[in-house]
Structure 1
Amino acid sequence: MSADVPRAVSVADVASLLHERGPALVLTGAGMSTESGIPDYRGPDGNRRVTPMSHQKFTATSEARQRYWARSFIGWQRFTAAEPNDGHLAVTDLQRSGAFGAVITQNVDGLHQDAGTRAVVELHGSLAEVVCLMCGERVDRDLVQAFMHDANPGFGARALGSAPDGSQVSSQIRPDGDIVLEDAAVRTFVAPRCLVCGDDTLKPDVVFFGGSVPRDRVDRCFALTDAAPVLVVLGSSLKVMSGYRFVRRAAARGIPVVVITRGPTRGDAETTHRIDAPLGVTLSSLARAVGERTDRAG
């Protein structure tokens, strides 16, 4: 076996490791939420399927912000209708059993918290809050949605009817709540403005591609990594350094790295235990296996 190919293991092997060394630090990626109807940016091969809004584009022009908010306005209803899947629920069960500890998530959908998971660090922020880049004012995303609804009567019906591929289908929803719309529909959209300073620089409080995670948040995650007996990665190809750096940090300190996801990852060389399988059924099985070990030990 090549040195950069991780050792494939069984659910029982991972359960044994967690029983002996838990609670593990958990790092989750977009693959965690695909079974909730929020597709990843990347396909099974790890290559990007769609190009997300970048920080540089969003901050560059009012037109880019108008395009984002028009698409996000349409995507928000379906995005917020997503519910925790079996994988999210299993993470909560594993945390309650003591097998999992804190969770670092690269997702901005809040589904871990909805499933009851505690001690969640949202590495890339949360779509539930909006911040003004000009004055720093913060506002709830639902209030921004209400403003856009009032300022754009009938926009949803018109926009959804204009996309030749049918943007209302769930495969078009992206991890940041964005959705595909034609430019002609976007140009008529009235974007939200800050109620304090009046500027059009409202931005969801998330780290877009090309943006930087706040330093204090990164330091907190490094501290969690350094203290972890095991790092478990769920649903991430680790293509982005934002999450991959914690795998590198753990491996450099001799901390076992367990990866459960579909397809290859950027961190294969640092991975010590690997399961290539769907998350929902695998994590549910892991929760049962951990519970059985706990029962026997008790």
Structure 2
Amino acid sequence: MFRCYCILYDRCHTLSVFHRGRATYSSLAFVPKHDPVCEDEINQVRDFINSSKKTLVLTGAGISTESGIPDYRSEGVGLYARSSRRPVQYNDFVRSEAIRRRYWARNFVGWPQFSSISPNATHYAIRNLELDLNRISYVITQNVDNLHYKAGSQKVIELHGTAYRVMCLSCNFKMKRHKFQEILSEMNPGVQLRSDEMKPDGDVEIREEDMESFKVPSCFNCGGILKPDIVFFGDNVPKERVNFIKQQISTSDSLLVLGSSLSVFSGFRFILHASELGKPIAIINIGETRGDKYAQLKIEKKCGDLLPRLYC
């Protein structure tokens, strides 16, 4: 049976989600302005899902904003609206030791907060659509925050990789990000683990002197460059991952997009592929998306207000 949720809001814009007898809390400070969901919209999305045996779900940063992780592009509350800083580029990370040092210093400080963030009602609703109702073929996420796995989803493809793993650019060495945090902590005992700002990939702003003196190890296997197992801006999603997702679109009956503006081509390409195959497309996202003209159904509401109510 699909599990329902009790969702409460306090005056500080904090969300309390009661799931399986426990409460998780998250800030709604990064969720754009939106109107309440109406019953007709819930019925439309329910009918869309019910019309397919298997739906492929594509999720974006808009579903994690409800857990307190900002996205990049949301009007007024996204990172680009609040700051002139931009995420690190792949080529800059590879070419510059100073940029790598500054990146890892900020990531080190932000990791305890980023890794402690909990799934919200949308993540749990997607999990239940997959496991309890057997409606989802796969969850394709553009997010690197691991929240689908934390919620219990099993068939997840992380399009842009995961912040929870570290990789070497020269060999096949990989290690868990939690273990890497312990190593960084031992190498940098004087760096304070405190920051007031969080970015979509866990990056934060810290003191200049902490960044300049920060120590970062080389690969423990070959001495190469270590980076998060994330597809940075300017890098490419591995071809085998793209081809696998296209195959899943071909064998699914429909595509449901949740919380993504589809501004980045790495995700938008799957809208084009589904459209070429004649697959029905539905999009739930606050604000316009790059894929709106390809969708048979578009709902501009918050996913957390709609998904948990589909089968209650």
Fold match by TM threshold 0.5: yes
- Asked if structure 2 preserves the Cα contact closer than 8 Å seen for 1:94 and 1:287, the reply is no
Q: Which residue in the other structure is 2:185 paired with?
A: 149
* Residues in 2 aligned to 1:181 and 1:155: alpha-carbon distance in whole angstroms: 10
Q: Flag structure 1 segments of 5+ consecutive residues without an equivalent.
A: 1-7, 161-167, 289-298
- Asked if structure 2 preserves the Cα contact closer than 8 Å seen for 1:92 and 1:115, the reply is yes
Q: CA deviation at 1:125?
A: 1.0
Instruction: Give the alignment partner of residue 126 of structure 1, picking from 162, 184, 188.
Output: 162
Q: CA deviation at 1:184?
A: 3.1
* Residues in 1 aligned to 2:217 and 2:79: alpha-carbon distance in whole angstroms: 33
Q: Which residue in the other structure is 1:279 paired with?
A: 303
Q: Which residue in the other structure is 1:246 paired with?
A: 270
Q: Which residue in the other structure is 1:100 paired with?
A: 136
* Residues in 2 aligned to 1:282 and 1:44: alpha-carbon distance in whole angstroms: 21
- Asked if structure 1 preserves the Cα contact closer than 8 Å seen for 2:145 and 2:162, the reply is yes
Is 1:48 matched up with 2:80? yes
TM-score, L = length of structure 2: 0.82
- Asked if structure 2 preserves the Cα contact closer than 8 Å seen for 1:44 and 1:262, the reply is no
Which amino acid is 2:121 matched to?
D
Which amino acid is 1:38 matched to?
I
Q: CA deviation at 1:175?
A: 2.0
Q: Which residue in the other structure is 1:79 paired with?
A: 114
Q: Which residue in the other structure is 1:88 paired with?
A: 123
Q: What's the secondary structure of 1:156's corresponding residue?
A: coil
Alignment of 1:135-284 (within 5 A): 135-156=171-192, 160=194, 168-169=195-196, 172-199=197-224, 201-284=225-308
Is 1:58 matched up with 2:58? no
* Residues in 1 aligned to 2:182 and 2:107: alpha-carbon distance in whole angstroms: 13
- More RCO (CA 8 Å, sep 6+): 1
* Residues in 2 aligned to 1:276 and 1:182: alpha-carbon distance in whole angstroms: 39
- Asked if structure 2 preserves the Cα contact closer than 8 Å seen for 1:93 and 1:287, the reply is no
Q: CA deviation at 1:275?
A: 1.0
- Root-mean-square deviation over aligned CA pairs: 1.8
Q: CA deviation at 1:181?
A: 2.5
How many residues were matched structurally?
269
Q: CA deviation at 1:219?
A: 0.2
Q: CA deviation at 1:141?
A: 1.1
- Asked if structure 1 preserves the Cα contact closer than 8 Å seen for 2:70 and 2:79, the reply is no
Q: CA deviation at 1:286?
A: 2.0
Which amino acid is 1:274 matched to?
K
- Asked if structure 1 preserves the Cα contact closer than 8 Å seen for 2:143 and 2:160, the reply is yes
Q: CA deviation at 1:47?
A: 8.7
Q: Which has the higher helix share?
A: 1
- Asked if structure 1 preserves the Cα contact closer than 8 Å seen for 2:71 and 2:79, the reply is no
- Asked if structure 2 preserves the Cα contact closer than 8 Å seen for 1:260 and 1:275, the reply is yes
- Asked if structure 2 preserves the Cα contact closer than 8 Å seen for 1:144 and 1:192, the reply is no
CA deviation digits over 1:164-197, x for unaligned, max 9? xxxx23xx21221111224333101112322222
Which amino acid is 1:189 matched to?
F
TM-score, L = length of structure 1: 0.86
**Stretches (4+) displaced over 4 A:** none
* Residues in 2 aligned to 1:117 and 1:140: alpha-carbon distance in whole angstroms: 20
Q: What's the secondary structure of 2:149's corresponding residue?
A: helix
Q: Which residue in the other structure is 1:68 paired with?
A: 103
Q: Which residue in the other structure is 1:24 paired with?
A: 55
Which amino acid is 2:159 matched to?
L
Q: Which residue in the other structure is 2:66 paired with?
A: 35
* Residues in 2 aligned to 1:215 and 1:53: alpha-carbon distance in whole angstroms: 22
